[in-house]
Structure 1
Amino acid sequence: MLLIELIPVILLICLSASFSGLTLGLMGLDQMGLRMVIESGSQPDATPSESADAKYAKKIFPFRSRGNLLLCTLLLGNVAVNSLLSILMADMTSGLTGFIISAFSITIFGEIVPQAICSRHPLKIGAFAIPLVYIFTFATYVFAWPISQILDRVLGEEIGTVYSRNQLKRLVMMYSRIKDSEFQEVETNIVSGALDFSKKSVGSCMTPIKDTFMLDIEEKLTFEIIYKIFQMGHSRVPVYERHPHNEHEPIQVVGLLFVKELILVDPEDDLPVRNICHHWFGTDIPVVFEDCMTTNLMQVFKSGRSHMALVKRVVESDDCDPYYESVGIITLEDLIEEILGDEIEDEMDAVHMPGSRSRRDKSAHARIIAGGGELPLDHPLLVYLHDKNRMECTLPQSEVDAITMFLSGKHQHTFGVSVMSAEDLSRLIRSSHVLRLSEEDGEHAIYTAGSTTSCCTLVLDGHVKVRAGQDGFESICGPWTIFGLRVFETQSEIKADWSATVEPESSGCRLLQIDLANFLAHAGGKRRLQNSASVGKKGALRKAWSLVKSNSQLSPAETPDSMSPLTASPQRRHTGVGEGLTTTFPSSLQVSIE
């Protein structure tokens, strides 16, 4: 008899637990949160867990979209079940005992336990409980629907949780601190920077004009000035002009010089900047005001007009009319740094300012360079170019450093650290023979086809005419061309299948000749040849050479001038001129036949 009486009590406790758990689980999911779950789970890159949550959210959303009806249904059912349970317990026991048992049962099994479970898995439990919600809605519809309609008219449409800009930032930061979170620190910084980006003005991101590296329009592009530009590592340099009659007047930025345009400038011509900006290239620089928002400036940069802008402000004074004053420079990189929340360090920063990542350090570096102090010519190639004694037969240390950097970087398999150290390579270069030929020496043959050689040759200055192949394919090779690398690969004499001749020219020619015995003496026991890779490479390049010969329409009688890399058409830029030869053109094209 007691068991029969306990059955409705257990059933009522289960119903109470269902109403209570679903109230917390379903009502805790607002419509905006469900839409977010559904849309994120529908993306192609969604994870399996996100796809499963989206499936659950789609089942819940029709009920949750009518939030007041769902709320009334669950609360009415919960109150009715709890009241009926109290009455049954009072009939089965005395009043006080029934109160204690019903209160304990409802609190523990009807509220705490189900809400704890549903709060952790609301989507999954809510989706599986949808059929039960249908039954509850049908059972309480007569009472729940009128109440829900009154709430809809009085309270209005349910909007859901909407976060402010600062709340979104804190939410992302909180998620990033959770263990096993997908958010990384760099992603958190980017999201925070993007949220703050539209609130920032140009004045807070710009580089002040006093910290900006600029060129006077009357400046001459000497070697020192071009080297200053190289040291800064900028792709664009603002050009300013002073007032012709009043030196105290503020300078005016009148244009923008692209550094890539300097590739056509000879430092020995002392060409004025004005000629570059006004007569040849030159680009107007966009102007913005310091109170302009960064989002508006980003639209200007995205349009492709320029990636640098001049920042101005209006200066008002009682003594004169208002005028514009240049206060700074801002670039696309500055805006990207604001979004990323970190400084961008490019290749030139790493070379000239190692370890420096702040805009303040970069500005200080710009002031030092623009100040006109003594230039620290620390780059081996630039030291070599600036050295006036490089045409002598004895190699200066600056040129030895430049050749060492070139050979160890471009020909690592022959001169890299796996073969010899940088110190050994420098000693090898210094101990090698430098052949200098002037116009009076006439033609001089370096290599003759069919003859054996044990020497590798690097062109330092001047030009060499090369003839190779059965068709007598000719090419003119300039500085930094190397011949005979196969001597060191095979560690033996080779038979040249090309001819190389130095033709007389007024500027002269210098050649660095490295003998095999000298090379082996400095390489020592560290030489490790990659025979298999070398064989495969030679086979592929011989095949490429055969294609060059079959496609070439040139006759052996064509002059060397017609074969110059500077004047050859794209169809004629074939530089495979025999085994053991590497030709570097002034362009970025480089072909190596070993």
Structure 2
Amino acid sequence: MVASLAGLWFLLKIVLFCGIRYGACSQEAPLVLGLRLESPAGLVCMKDRIISAPEGATFKLRLYGTELNGSWPWVAFAGAAGGAAGAVGDAPDPCGQESSRGQSAFQVTGVFTPDEKYSGLITVKVRKRSISAGVGSGKSYYHLCVLSGGKWASSGPDRLRINTDTGLPADYIPPWGLAVLVVLLLLVCGLLRTVNLSLLWLDPVELYVLHSCGSEEEKRAAKRLEPIRRRGNFLACSLLFLSVLGHSVLGVLLYRALGSILSAVFTSGFLIFLLAELVPHILCSGYGFQLAPGLTWLAQVCLVLTFPLSCPLGLILDLALRRDITTCGIRERAMEMIRTSVNDPYSEFVKEEFSRGMLRSKTVEDILTPLKDCFMLPSSVILDFSTMSEIMQSGYNRVPIYEEERSNIVEILYVKDLALVDPDDCTPMTTITKFYNHPLHYVFNDTKLDAMLEEFKKGNSHMAIVQKVNNEGEGDPFYEVLGLVTLEDVIEEIIKSEILDESDGYLDRKVKRPLAPLEISLEPRTVHEEFSLFKPPEGEPKIRTSPQLLLATHRFLSREVSHFSPGRVSEKILFHLLRHPSVNQEVHFDPTNRLSAAHYLYTRNHPVDYFILLLQGRVEVEIGKEGLKFENGAFTYYGVSALTLPSSVHQSPVSTQCQSPRDPFESADGTSPSSYCPDYTVRALTDLQLIRVTRLQYLNALMASRVGQSPDPPEIKILPNSQTKLLNEKNTTQQGGSSAQESSTEEEAHG
């Protein structure tokens, strides 16, 4: 009994030991469920569960399964007998034959490297054909063999096979080919998008406006675009179809190159967004209309390529929608509203539509007049004739006043403040500015133009001083004055044009571009007067006529006396003539001897050769044989005929301004008398201040004016009995040429 129990116990131990041993062995046997080619490169590829690799190649395989940490080696490859490609059940399993595994073209090198729980990597090297030539002919297939339970067997339900042919797949594309195709497709997609945006950006109505009202270049471009733009639906279908086709092909190529769907999707999306959408929008937003004429040929090629598909679709859209899908209905409505309201000059919609963008996108720093170009005066200046004439000549209504340096503006002077100021009083500038005390208006350089316009509309001031906070360098920040901005500057920015008035000397005050000179002289006095000519010059003898009276005399002669009109005597020559000491004269009246010979300016039948303009005082005029007498005062003139040829018909002094004088250079000759005999008498009744111009002075002024206006100065004709140095110079320098003639006439014009 004891012996039988001992034998039973021993039998149980053996069964238990074998069971444990069998369970342990079964748990340690590796089980391969599948494999994948890791990082395909070169000619090694995997398709339809068959890995193709050339001779001599080395690649890595990722194995998937359980219990992959068994004792190595437990993976090998074995060639199928006769190159059979079927399952193991159709032929003997080649993995069980040691010779098949040893002569296999695919040899596992190294050891199995697990990197995850259920997968790991092995390295496989393809041996040369000479070694494995005996294993079938043509295509040789190899099975993956796994050591399980001490036996080698094929792994996998449908037998993974490896092809060692060196021939490439029919759809194989090398990496450099994929890169070239991707770049070309991106360029094509970007070009198609550029064509779409540039050609379809403007609707037919806008093209018609450019064709009718644009510049010559815009008219030519619009003429080229109109024919193809009329086929809007046809063109849109063609370009959209080609763009979508290019995007699809690009995604497939990137998948072939990257081997991952997710990476291919994100990469293609980013490249299409950046190069095929964003860049064309940037180009067409600024240069679309300039690029469009050069891209019409490409649009025509696209129409031809996609004609079978895009033409029927375009016709269907035309018939179904009866409009161009490339135009925006809201945009057409907005344009219609603008056209209907354009007749109303005060339409709030039109003003807001056209001024909002330009006023909100610019600041006062963009339109200000720099401080160095501003007309300014120091506070220490005296308001004499020189200063006031400088202010009047500047043409500005508001003049900034500064102390010490130009950036320190302390006051604003309005020109209307000078209405009651007498230049002879020499009033200090500070007296006027402190009396009126006009407020200063400061703005910062980043102020928008719409805000600046609202400030000007409040009426506080139409001029503002632009300043900014200067943080550069060491020390505390300070306000730096940049320049001035006016309401006129804002209006010019709105209308996109310079506003020129009668006092402007520049066509563009920002760049100091001068006005174009007139080729044909207009009416007299249309040119801005230069008051600086009437300022008393420094270093010259002071004349008896004040600057104000000299200005009035100059204007009177040039406008009222035809002999001194700008068409005969230039304004500058007339000015120099009036300033000559011999022309400005005074007659002192002696009340004790009223009939003194010094009181007579003209005596009847006594020859004279001068013209007189009365500036101050009174005279008595006696006319004709009847001795009719009357009194005259300031700004009456006598002896106009004495300046040209004497006439046989005596003229009264009151009718001289109505005559049409003849050219003295064409009429003077050696037989003409040298003096003029008036038929009236002019006698002083009070102290007189007058202008006395002799015939010689007038003729020299005429000649000097002609020399300044003509490149070929005319020949001077002087009366033969004139005893002057001019006549002597003419007789001695007749052979000298035109240059000497010009210099002599200019000298005599002043004396």
Q: TM-score range by the shorter chain?
A: 0.3 to 0.5
The structure whose Rg is larger is 2
TM-score, length basis structure 2: 0.34
Structure with greater proportional helix content: 1
Q: TM-score, normalised by structure 1?
A: 0.40
Instruction: Give the structure, 1 or 2, with the largest relative contact order (CA under 8 Å, sep 6 or more).
Output: 1
